[in-house]
Amino acid sequence: MTYAIEISDLKKRYEGGFEALKGISLNVEKGDFFALLGPNGAGKSTTIGILCSLVNKTSGKVSIFGADIDKDFAKAKQYLGVVPQEFNFNVFETVFNVVVTQAGFYGISNRVAEERAEKYLKQLDLWDKRNDQSRMLSGGMKRRLMIARALVHEPEVLILDEPTAGVDIELRRSMWEFIKNLNEQGTTIILTTHYLEEAEQLCRNIAIINSGQIVENTSVKALLKTLNQETFILDLDQSVSDDWHVDGYTTKLSKDLSTIEVEVIKGQSINHIFKALDEIGVNVISMRNKSNRLEELFVKLIKG
Amino acid sequence: MSNSEIFIAFYTILRREIRRFTRIWPQTLLPPAITMSLYFAIFGNLIGSRIGQMGGFSYMQYIVPGLIMMSVITNSYSNVSSSFFSAKFQHSIQELLVSPTPNWVILVGYVLGGVARGLFVGGIVTILSLFFTHLHLQNLFLTIAVVCLTAIMFSLGGFVNAIYARNFDDVSIVPTFILTPLTYLGGVFYSIDLLPSFWQHVSLLNPVLYMVNAFRYGILGVSDINVYMALVIVGIFIVVLFTFGLHLLNKGKGIRS
């Protein structure tokens, strides 16, 4: 099977001795929506930097759709589109020129480049800004410009490094919709994000990297199955007594005694809680997870 | 990449470089036009009329080729050093590094961008000089060859400078402390025959002297040095600088971690 990305025993030691990657191996399937998660300094950006030739690896092997980045770098790069974490376009170029110029670097003729620039700038709501210097754009627009630029050569794999950092909720949602659509049309997506809730919602597979090592590499579903405990928050229609509890459960009451946090261990039923509340005539108005489940796992994994 | 794709990538870099220096023309094209007009007016006309002849020509005619060459050298060098360093500074160089464009195409694209500016400014200065004196070309082929090779050589120098530069000061140090003295002492304003024997020999170590004199020979037919020696020297510098520049790009010096 040819993977979209194959990484084998990848190591990176920076000048000065810092070992950013200690021999990571992972495969990303064609058409996958893959999340690469990890705390700051874990090695995510180094991995992505090596994939797109911005960082020189110390050792190991990386292939993109079977093309080795050392032996067949031009082919490997053709497959890849990159949306980096930091803005990295010429701020004095117009929006249109930023996209058309990038296409030129991939050997795409000016006519095709202009057609594609129009297509992607329209899809990303930037067409009205096409003649503006890119430095005049807002932060969210600059992010979208980098997505349009990364797509202009129509890559098979799109790598997004923290693409929604600093983007407001509404724009973040619309960007995810756009990227979800791309994935449905066959583009393999690899993303790093700090918004774990989104990784949980969007991604099929996930790798968690910590201190330069992969600590987990599995499907999001399989990962969530390993959760032993979840915390639910119940909002009540009236207060309970301050010593209210249910045997076998850890509960915590809010100050006004009308909200309960309940820890439910895997295999336990939450029905006992509802029953106990019903017996004292208290109704549950709403129920939610205390934090998203992936976040709990993430913290657990990186703490070892 | 196929040959046609490589050509498109090269043309894209060159077009972007030309678009850059023409967009900021008050910084790139206007200053050398004003400076050189002042040189022509003050050194050529006012002071030159009292100096008399040099090498069998009026002083104005004598300094025109040197001043054209000075503009070409300065502008081709600074175009590449400032453009490439700016791309490094604002990380837009990554647009090229993530693309399949081969390193030699990146180098050739930037260098020819510098050559384009050098020749463009050289053309402006030549036209301005015609308001002050008349010029007749002695050897068209040699003139064009020397000016193009010189522009290539200094563009390559600017590229190497930009690769090593870590801040804007590093970009200006070489032009200020090395390039300007070499140019002023490279026979732009005088024939080295006027110097004492010791300083004549020292001057022969200055590569700019060869380029200025070869260019002057192409226009006026007079030179302090063997012009073919000049072509060989420029050729060697180009090969060395191109190889070194490409080596730095392949290594990722200053642009890849």
What mean pLDDT value characterizes chain A?
88
Nearest to A105 among B87, B91, B99 (CB): B99
Evaluate whether B6 touches B102 at the Cβ level (below 8 Å): yes
Residue B194's pLDDT is: 85
Q: Is A144 on the interface with B (CB under 8 A)?
A: no
- Chain A positions touching B95 (Cβ under 8 A) are 88-90, 101-102, 105, 149
DSSP for B22-71? Answer: HHTHHHHTHHHHHHHHHHIIIIIIIIHHHH-EETTEEHHHHHHHHHHHHH
Nearest to A88 among B9, B12, B91 (CB): B91
Tokens of residue A137, six digits: 């754009």
Residue A192's pLDDT is: 87
Residue type, B9: A
The CATH label, of 1.10.3720.10, 3.40.50.300, 3.40.50.800, 1.20.5.440, for the domain at A5-220 is 3.40.50.300
**Chain B interface with A: residues with Cβ < 8 Å:** 1-2, 4-6, 8-9, 11-13, 15-16, 19-20, 23, 87, 90-92, 94-102, 252, 256-257
Residue type, A53: S
Q: The domain containing residue B239 runs over which residues?
A: 3-251
Radius of gyration of chain A from its Cα atoms, rounded to whole angstroms: 23
**Distance from the A197 Cα atom to the nearest Cα atom in chain B, whole angstroms:** 30
Q: How far apart are CA B119 and CA B148, in angstroms?
A: 8
Q: At what angle do helices B103-129 and B59-89 cross, to 10 degrees?
A: 150
Is B194 part of any domain? yes
CB contact under 8 A, B23 and A149: no
Instruction: Decide the pairing of beta strands A229-236 and A284-289.
Output: antiparallel
Which tens digit of pLDDT belongs to each residue from A45-84? 899 999 988 999 999 999 999 999 998 988 999 999 999 9
Strand partners, A64: A5, A67
DSSP-assigned letter for residue A216 = E
Residue B200's pLDDT is: 86
CB contact under 8 A, B90 and A75: no
Which tens digit of pLDDT belongs to each residue from A136-172? 998 889 999 999 999 999 999 999 988 877 777 788 8
Question: Using 50, 70 and 90 to split pLDDT, how confident is the model at A9?
Answer: very high
Evaluate whether A204 touches A190 at the Cβ level (below 8 Å): no
Domain residue limits, chain A: 5-220, 227-302
Q: How far apart are CA B9 and CA B34, in angstroms?
A: 35
CB contact under 8 A, B12 and A105: yes
Evaluate whether B153 touches B160 at the Cβ level (below 8 Å): no
Nearest to A109 among B8, B98, B256 (CB): B8
Length of chain B: 257
A300, pLDDT greater than 90: no
Q: Which residue has the tokens 């700019």?
A: B208
Q: Is A116 on the interface with B (CB under 8 A)?
A: no
Is B90 part of any domain? yes
Q: Kindly report the CA angle at A215 between A214 and A220, in degrees rounded to 5?
A: 100
Is B257 part of any domain? no
- Chain A positions touching B256 (Cβ under 8 A) are 53-56
Burial zone of B159 (CB within 10 Å; 0-12 exposed, 13-18 middle, 19+ buried): buried
Domains A5-220 and A227-302 share a fold: no
Burial zone of B42 (CB within 10 Å; 0-12 exposed, 13-18 middle, 19+ buried): exposed
Residue A293's pLDDT is: 64
Alpha helices in chain A (DSSP H): 44-51, 73-78, 95-105, 110-123, 139-151, 169-184, 196-202, 220-225, 271-279, 293-302
Q: Count how many domains chain B has.
A: 1
Alpha helices in chain B (DSSP H): 3-23, 25-28, 30-39, 48-51, 59-89, 93-97, 103-129, 140-164, 168-174, 180-184, 197-203, 207-220, 227-251
Is B256 part of any domain? no
DSSP-assigned letter for residue A235 = E
CB contact under 8 A, B100 and A77: yes
CB contact under 8 A, B98 and A52: yes
Which tens digit of pLDDT belongs to each residue from B165-201? 998 889 888 888 988 889 888 888 888 888 888 888 8
* Closest chain A residue to the Cα of B87, Cα to Cα: A90
Q: Work out how many CB contacts closer than 8 A connect A with B.
A: 85
Tokens of residue B160, six digits: 């190497």
* CATH code linked to domain A227-302: 3.30.70.1560
Q: Residue A294: which of A38, A46, A43, A45 has the closest Cα?
A: A38
pTM: 0.85
Strand partners, A290: none
Strand partners, A35: A191, A206
Q: Is A108 on the interface with B (CB under 8 A)?
A: yes
Which tens digit of pLDDT belongs to each residue from B86-141? 999 999 999 999 999 999 999 999 999 999 999 999 999 999 999 988 888 889 99
Length of chain A: 304
Which tens digit of pLDDT belongs to each residue from A177-212? 899 999 999 999 999 877 777 787 889 999 989 889
Which tens digit of pLDDT belongs to each residue from B23-52? 999 999 999 999 999 988 888 778 887 887
* Closest chain B residue to the Cα of A20, Cα to Cα: B257
Strand partners, A191: A35, A160
CB contact under 8 A, B257 and A49: yes
* Closest chain A residue to the Cα of B95, Cα to Cα: A102
- Chain A positions touching B96 (Cβ under 8 A) are 105
Residue type, A220: V
Q: Is A205 on the interface with B (CB under 8 A)?
A: no
Q: Is A139 on the interface with B (CB under 8 A)?
A: no
Nearest to A88 among B6, B11, B95 (CB): B95
CB contact under 8 A, B256 and A53: yes
Q: Residue A168: which of A138, A197, A200, A123 has the closest Cα?
A: A138
Q: Complex ipTM, two decimals? A: 0.88
* Closest chain A residue to the Cα of B2, Cα to Cα: A107
Mean pLDDT for A84-96 is: 91
Which tens digit of pLDDT belongs to each residue from B210-245? 999 999 999 988 888 888 888 999 999 999 999 999
Which tens digit of pLDDT belongs to each residue from A235-291? 999 988 888 888 888 888 888 888 998 888 877 888 888 898 998 999 999 888 776
Evaluate whether A44 touches A36 at the Cβ level (below 8 Å): yes
Task: Centre a 10 Å sphere on the Cβ of residue B57 and count the other Cβ atoms it contains.
Answer: 18
Nearest to A53 among B11, B15, B98 (CB): B98
Question: Using 50, 70 and 90 to split pLDDT, how confident is the model at A32?
Answer: very high
